[in-house]
Structures are given as structure tokens and as C-alpha cells.
Structure 1
């Protein structure tokens, strides 16, 4: 196909005509720049009822994007697999994790069984293409079974 287009263009140029390209190259997409995905470790909430709790936020470093949808999944290990037991999402401006600029995930404890917990966090910049990567916090042992 490329040879045909090249031959057609060469023929048109030799005959004094002009040939427009079949498709224009797409403009270079702007990347998300640099941002940091943050989250604290799963812990027992200080406010009743007894719940496993964790927070997520993002910090802008450079590039476009002033707001992001931050999603956090609270995960508990059962056997050898991690299972999401709670999820929450919120549109947030960049911040340092203060209460106004973070999203929380909570799951009420059914008992005080010792379990492994972690969070999965996704930051999607609003109006800016970014990678599908997710961040996992370091697993911790918490006395909270569900």
C-alpha cells in the first residue's frame, strides 16, 4: 500500500498535480507530567465503630492536571489472595494528605482476628491522559477480621 501511495504521489508530482496525504499525523499528546500517588497504611480508625481504615491522596510535581479522581481499595488477604472489601473514590486537588484533600476507605471489623491488610490506589488526572498504573501500600497486620 505504501508503494502505491508513493507511486501515486510521484506520478502526480511529475504531472504537476498535488496529492494530499491520506491521513494527517496526530498531534503529539501531552503527557501527565509528574505526580506522586500517596497513601497511608491500613490502621484501626480512631473514631467508632471499630473499622479498618486507610487514606489516599496525590501530589502534583509538574505538568498539566490540577484535579484527579483518586480511588482507594481496602484489601484483606485471605489464604494467598488479596480481596477488595471496601472502595471509595473522590475528585481531589493535589495536596499533602490533609483531611480536605484525601479519600478514605473503611471497613467495619466483625471481630479482632489478626489479618493482613493493604490498599490499592489509582490516581486518574481529570482531562489528562495518564498511565493505568496503581500503587499498593505495604501490607500490615491489623486485628480486624471481616
Structure 2
């Protein structure tokens, strides 16, 4: 079995993304966003909160993605979220939702929600995969992933 340290994976991702038109994954803040190109979508930030237990019943694993416009064309985007749970070494999507949104900071009107009812309170690792597709503007197919978190929720 071969293991790849995190830094090696991050370096590889940076090299692979260097030639893309849009940021390849979630950009933590606009200062780190890739510069816009004339033919590309400009710069936007993909973001989302970590998977958590929803505050409203029934007991569910929940997460919310959103996007923020930095520069270039595109005022609306279809934001898709996949709620994923880890089983062994593999991530499995257990819930999906999508919504067309204007750019925003993650307030309830400018985000999508994905929820999966908990079948147990066993600790499991969860993450989300997020895709932002600007409406009417070609952009790259890359998706962002939130940091995995352990939650007392078995799907």
C-alpha cells in the first residue's frame, strides 16, 4: 500500500490546477483566488460549512454551501452539494441537493442545504462535495470538498 502525504497531494493539485481557467477547488479567501482570464468565468469563491447535526428535528447530518463573486461575469450559479459519509476508505454520497443562487456570504437565502436523517448515534466521518456552475458562463468542472469531520450520526 502506498501512502501520499498531504503536502504531496496539495502540491500535485496545485500543479494540475495551474493551467485551469477557474479555481480548481474552494478558495479560502479572495486574496488567494486565481486571476481571471478573458475567456474564463472570472474569480469566485466556493465555500461551505462542515457537516454538523441540524438544530431542527429530526436528528440529521446537515451542511450548507454557497458561493461568493469576486470578479468577472456571472451573477447567478447553480450550487450543488453532495453529503458524503466514509465507509472504510471510500466516501459515499448519501444526500444531494441543488439550487440556483446569487452570490452571497452563506446567509439562509443564499445557500443550499443537504440533510441526511441519522439512523444511529455512532461516530462516522462526514464531508461535503460542492460544485458551483455559473449560469451562462463556462467554468471548470472541479469540485470543492469540506474538511472531514467526525459526527455522531450513522446513516
The TM-score normalised by the length of structure 2 is 0.75
Distance 1:145 1:113 in 2: 5
Whole-Å separation in 1 of the counterparts to 2:86 and 2:125: 5
Runs of 4+ in 1 over 2 A off after TM superposition: none
Q: Which has the higher strand share?
A: 1
Residue 126 (structure 1) aligns with: 135
Q: Which whole-Å deviations, capped at 9, do the CAs of 1:62-113 have from their partners, x for residues lacking one?
A: 0000000000000000011000000000000000000000000000001101
**Residue 29 of structure 1, CA deviation:** 6.8
Q: Hey, what does 1:53 align to over in structure 2?
A: 62
Between the aligned partners of 1:52 and 1:82, the Cα distance in structure 2 is: 15
Question: Residue 33 in 1 paired to residue 67 in 2?
Answer: no
Match of 2:73 among 64, 73, 81: 64
TM-score (normalizing by structure 1): 0.80
Partner of residue 14, structure 1: none
Q: Bigger radius of gyration, 1 or 2?
A: 1
Distance 2:138 2:89 in 1: 34
Matched, 1:44 2:53: yes
RMSD: 1.1
- In structure 1, runs of 5+ residues without a counterpart are 1-27
Stretches of structure 2 that go unaligned for 5 or more consecutive residues are 1-36
Equivalent-residue separation in structure 1 for 2:99 and 2:57 (angstroms): 22
Q: How many residues align?
A: 119
